[in-house]
Each structure stands twice: as structure tokens, then as C-alpha cells.
Structure 1
Amino acid sequence: MITSPIWLPATLFAGAVQAWRTALQKRVSQNLSVNAAGLVRYLYGLPFAFLMLGLYQWAFAPSAFPALGRLFPLFCAAGGLAQIIATNLLLMAFNHRNFVVGTAYSKTEAVQGAILSFLLLGETLSALSWVGILCGVAGVMILSTGGKRMEPADFVRALGKPSALCGIASGLFFALTAIGIRRATQEVATPDHIRAALIVLCCTITMQTVMQGVWLFWREREQVSRIFLTWRSSGQVGFLASLGSACWFTGFATAPVALVRIVGQVEVIFTLAFSHFYLREKMRGSEVSGLLLIAMGVILALAGTMR
């Protein structure tokens, strides 16, 4: 059920910001371990998250702080932990030989999210929106092949391989992240969806900082000092991560999880546009086909909400 039209611009902006943040984080990760690079987005994003909440709560839309349901911290913790696991699983898929297949299977997140949100939240979508989701997933899978020719049977045969298993599991946990965040926003007693999203963001990112920070201090203590040496670039990553998450969480608070995720795949379009127009990299025919499928999927998914 869509409760506010703000979900669409918020999701589109989230996709653009995430593409930018990913580009910066790749540079930061060259000097840090996987877990340290993951912690950067939470640790440096934490002050920006609280700054956004403070400005909104007391400057832009002042009102009494809303009451929080008893399950609020549980859903925040579950969503935050699921995101950490999903990110690590995706990186594990990248480390296996079948990188292409693992990446492609991780993009089933929109389909898995639609199924899980129906089972766990009772969210339903129109047939046209389902066609749009499948179309968008197919487009991203084509882009994931990097121009390599792969038959459908190749993906089926690869199901039992580590890269595919990690990719599918990654998509599952990203879907669970979205569901956990959506339920957390529903535990905030306010009709203001932006306020609810910012409150959930602050709680979730605090828990993620503690969870991944404790793990890093326990297992990779030598990485802790390196995180603070990269404060210039890491600060930019943290700011963009918090800004993007605030938009994602607003989307999850106001629209079905699957719709937010399928529209959020415009991140791929922004990334390729940056590559083509700024870096002057030539676009392949397969990339054009994938982009057209993604665009068609977004249009169909949106059209399905208007029926």
C-alpha cells in the first residue's frame, strides 16, 4: 500500500546518491579490509544521520518526539544486521571465479523482496507491477554479464556454485533489510514518514556501527587505526551513505518494498551514464538492451500502481 507520493522522488534520489557513494567507497576500500570498508559508511555516516534528524525534528518540522513501539529496536537491529550480512555475501560472490553469475543472481533481490513482503507484511502487487519487476531484474542480469554471451541454461547450471549461492543469499538478505526497515518505521508513532525514516536511520546506523565495530576490533584490530587515517574520503562516503539511506528508508516507509527496490535500480542507469558521459567510456549493445529493460520495468511497475 502506497501511503505517500514522496516515495518516488526519494527512491530516485537514493539511486543517484548510492551510485556516487559506491564510486567513492571503491577508492576507500583499496586501503582497507572488507569489514573496515563496511564500517566506514556507518561510523562516518553516524554524525550526519543525527544532524539530519536534528535539523528536521527541531528546525524544518518542529514537533514533539514520537513514541516508539516496543518492537522498534528489534526491527532496527534485524534490518541493520541483515544489511551487513548481505554486503559481505555480495563481496564473497565477487571473490569467487563465477563473478558474473554471482552478481546476476544477487539482482533477484526485487523478486525475493516481493515474495517476502507478501508473506511477512501482506503486501500485494498488481500483475503489471510483477511484469515490471521481472523485466527490471532481467535488465540488470544482462548488465551483470558485462557483454558476455550467457544462455539461460548457464545460469541454471551454476546454481550450485559458490558465487551463485552467495549472490542469491545476498539478494535475500538485502530484501530482509528492506522489510526490517519498513517494519521499524511502522513502530514510530507519527504520520510524518520522513521523521519516522530519520529516526529509524539513526537507530539502525548506531547499531551497525557497534556491531561491525566490535567485530573489527576483535578480529582485525590493526584496521581500526587505518579507518581514521582515511577520514577525508571516508567522511564523504559516510555523508552520502546517510543521505542515501534516509531516502531509501523514506521509500520503505511509504511504499511496498518491491516497488522501491525495482525503481531503485535506476542506480545502474546513473552509474552507466556517469561512465559514458563523464569518463567517455563506450557503451556496449548489451548495456543498451539492459538499460532499456530496466527503464521498461520501472515504467510497468509504476503503471501497475495506477490501476
Structure 2
Amino acid sequence: MIWVAATLIAAAAQTLRNAAQSGLTGRIGTIGATAVRFVFGLPFAALALALAAPYLELPRPGGATLGYAALGAGAQIAATAFMLITMRGQGFGVATALMKTEPVTLAVIGALLLAEPLGPARMGAIVLATAGVLVASGARWSRAALRPIATGVTAGALFGLSAIGFRGAILALPEGGFFIRALLVLVLTLGLQALAMVLWMAVADRAGLRGMLSLWRNSLAAGALGAFASLFWFIGFALTPAANVRTLALIEVPLAQILSGRVFRQSVRPGQVAGMAMIVVGVAWLLTTA
């Protein structure tokens, strides 16, 4: 069950990365802060690959690997754009909950593109955990407009498609262990994303690009945490269907709610407790079927 440990480590590291990244948003803008995870994460991933290459068999990526990596890279950037649109048009709770529908779309896309098994028990566990997120969000759905709902679900589907692209790229490599394959695909993906973001910012957001480079010390921390988190996400993708990884990651929702209650003394409503229970049961059910 290495994928379980890898997923939990990735979720924890991603939380720290988000904290480091959020401090940059007000200084260099949303696009600049988003680009940091790619531009400043790439050197750390490339260094890790250079250190590992002499000791591990380095796979040779072919056209399928590059194609899947490009699909994952592009879908992740597009998903981020739809996420930002959703958050501007709707409350944070609704937007976050809508994007957490990703495991359901991920399971369906994985079955279609990668021919991964989608039995009733596994699908039931994924749907239960995802429904738990919608309930636990505490969002006032009666106030949710149709357009933000559509963009939020689209963001979740694109995040799911990006995970399928990453897993497809890893599986397409002809040789090598799960660690070196995950690391190689991470470097390929970050390279494509860093190039795309820098080119875009050079044309449309030069102020953000200059700000990102001027705050390189702060950006390095976010980049390092981002590369570390992504590596463990990719290790999970190398070992089990991406829907399993993303469903297990939903466990961070009840943990965050518990932390909010303990540390910040924030009240939790009965409906949120029911939603958290659904997530825990769904994740436990998934682990028995994985």
C-alpha cells in the first residue's frame, strides 16, 4: 500500500505549498503565483532526476509518454483557469466542493482512456466520498448560480483529466521502477508547464513575470514544496488508478474541519459532521476494494 502513504504525504505537502503560494498572490497576482509552482518547481525536480539517474534505470520516453504528459500539463493549466473563474463568481465553499467532484469524473475518464476497471463497489466508494465533500462543505447551494456550477464541475473534470494524463504518461514508459518513472514524468510535465506559463506571461503579464523573478527567494520555497508534493502524487499515480489517489486525498476535508474546530474554535454544523462521516466511510470502503 505504498500509494496510500504517498497520497497522504502529497496531500500534506500540497497544503504547505498552498500556504506558501497564497502569500505571493497579493504581490504578483494570481497568474504569477500559479506559475511559481511550475517555474520554480522544475529546477528541484530536475535536480532530483539528475541525482537519481546514475543509480536507477532511466526510461526513454516515446511519443505516447510525451502526448500524455502534454495532455496532463495542458489540462491542469486549463483547470486552474476554470477554478479561478469559479471562485470569482461563487463563494469559496461552493467552488471548492464543486472541484472536489474530480474523483467521479476521473474514474469514468480512466475507464474510457486507460481501460481501468470500474466495478460497482469501487464506483460506489468514490461517489459516497465525493458526495460527502458536497455535504461537508456547508455551502448554501440555493444561492449557487448555474454558470459557476458549470465552471466548477468543468474545473474538477479537467483536474481529473490532468491526473489521467500524468498516469497515462507514467504507464507508457517502457521500463524502470515506479519512482524513476514518476520522477521523469514530473520533470517532463513541469518543463512543459513552465515553458507555457513563461511564454504566456511574457506576452500578457510582464509585470507578473518581473514580480515573480524579483521574489525568487519566496518563490523557491513554494516551488520546492510543489515539486515535492507533485512527486508523491505521481508516485501514487504510478501504483494505482488516479481515481483511488484523488478519492483518498478527500480525507483532508474532515481533517481540516477538525483542525478548524480544535485550533480556531470554529463551530461545525450537524450536516457537516454527516458529510465528514460519508467521506471517511467512502475512503475506508475504497481501501477495501483497491
TM range (shorter): over 0.9
| Residue 245, structure 1, aligned to residue 233, structure 2 | no
| Residue 298, structure 1, aligned to residue 283, structure 2 | yes
| Residue 139, structure 1, aligned to residue 123, structure 2 | no
Q: Which residue of 2 aligns with 1:49?
A: 45
Percent identical across equivalent pairs? 32
Q: Is the 8 A contact 1:252 1:260 kept in 2?
A: yes
Shift of 1:267: 3.1
| Residue 188, structure 1, aligned to residue 181, structure 2 | no
| Residue 177, structure 1, aligned to residue 170, structure 2 | no
CA distance in structure 1 between the aligned counterparts of 2:66 and 2:16, rounded to whole angstroms: 30
CA distance in structure 2 between the aligned counterparts of 1:176 and 1:296, rounded to whole angstroms: 25
Q: Which residue of 1 aligns with 2:74?
A: 81
| Residue 16, structure 1, aligned to residue 12, structure 2 | yes
Shift of 1:205: 0.2
Q: Which residues of 2 match residues 69-108 of structure 1 at below 5 A?
A: 69-97=62-90, 99-108=92-101
Where does the alignment leave 5 or more consecutive residues of structure 2 unmatched? none
Q: How many corresponding residue pairs?
A: 289
Shift of 1:176: 0.6
Query: Which residue type is aligned with residue 223 of structure 1?
Result: G
SS at match of 2:66: helix
Where does the alignment leave 5 or more consecutive residues of structure 1 unmatched? none
Deviations 1:154-194 (A, max 9, x none): 49xx5x72211110110111011011101110222224011
Q: Which residue of 2 aligns with 1:110?
A: 103
Q: 1:39 to 1:96 in 2, by over 3 A?
A: same
| Residue 232, structure 1, aligned to residue 232, structure 2 | no
User: Which shows bigger deviation, 200-209 or 294-303?
Assistant: 294-303
Q: Which residue of 2 aligns with 1:281?
A: 265
Shift of 1:73: 1.6
Runs of 4+ in structure 1 displaced over 4 angstroms? none
Query: What is the TM-score when the length of structure 1 is the normalising length?
Result: 0.87
CA distance in structure 2 between the aligned counterparts of 1:201 and 1:192, rounded to whole angstroms: 14
Q: Which residue of 2 aligns with 1:264?
A: 249
Q: Which residue of 1 aligns with 2:191?
A: 206
Shift of 1:274: 4.6
CA distance in structure 2 between the aligned counterparts of 1:161 and 1:55, rounded to whole angstroms: 49
CA distance in structure 2 between the aligned counterparts of 1:170 and 1:40, rounded to whole angstroms: 20
Q: 1:29 to 1:140 in 2, by over 3 A?
A: same
Shift of 1:301: 0.7
Query: Which residue type is aligned with residue 94 of structure 1?
Result: M
Q: Is the 8 A contact 1:127 1:304 kept in 2?
A: no
Deviations 1:42-92 (A, max 9, x none): 11111111122223333xxx1342222222222111111110110111111
CA distance in structure 2 between the aligned counterparts of 1:126 and 1:142, rounded to whole angstroms: 24
CA distance in structure 1 between the aligned counterparts of 2:287 and 2:129, rounded to whole angstroms: 12
Q: Is the 8 A contact 1:181 1:200 kept in 2?
A: yes
Shift of 1:98: 5.2
SS at match of 2:156: helix
Shift of 1:99: 4.8
CA distance in structure 2 between the aligned counterparts of 1:268 and 1:233, rounded to whole angstroms: 27
SS at match of 2:84: helix
Query: Which residue type is aligned with residue 227 of structure 1?
Result: M
SS at match of 1:125: coil
CA distance in structure 2 between the aligned counterparts of 1:140 and 1:280, rounded to whole angstroms: 21
SS at match of 2:149: helix
Q: Is the 8 A contact 1:76 1:204 kept in 2?
A: yes
Deviations 1:199-254 (A, max 9, x none): 00001001100001110110011111110232233211111110111011111111
CA distance in structure 2 between the aligned counterparts of 1:264 and 1:66, rounded to whole angstroms: 28
Q: Which residue of 1 aligns with 2:2?
A: 6
Query: What is the TM-score when the length of structure 2 is the normalising length?
Result: 0.92
C-alpha RMSD of the superposition: 2.0
SS at match of 2:73: helix
CA distance in structure 1 between the aligned counterparts of 2:256 and 2:266, rounded to whole angstroms: 13
CA distance in structure 2 between the aligned counterparts of 1:212 and 1:271, rounded to whole angstroms: 31
1:34 to 25, 30, 35: 30
Q: Is the 8 A contact 1:45 1:239 kept in 2?
A: yes
Q: Is the 8 A contact 2:137 2:272 kept in 1?
A: no
Q: Is the 8 A contact 1:265 1:294 kept in 2?
A: yes
Q: Is the 8 A contact 2:58 2:180 kept in 1?
A: no
Q: Is the 8 A contact 2:261 2:268 kept in 1?
A: no
Q: Is the 8 A contact 2:103 2:247 kept in 1?
A: yes
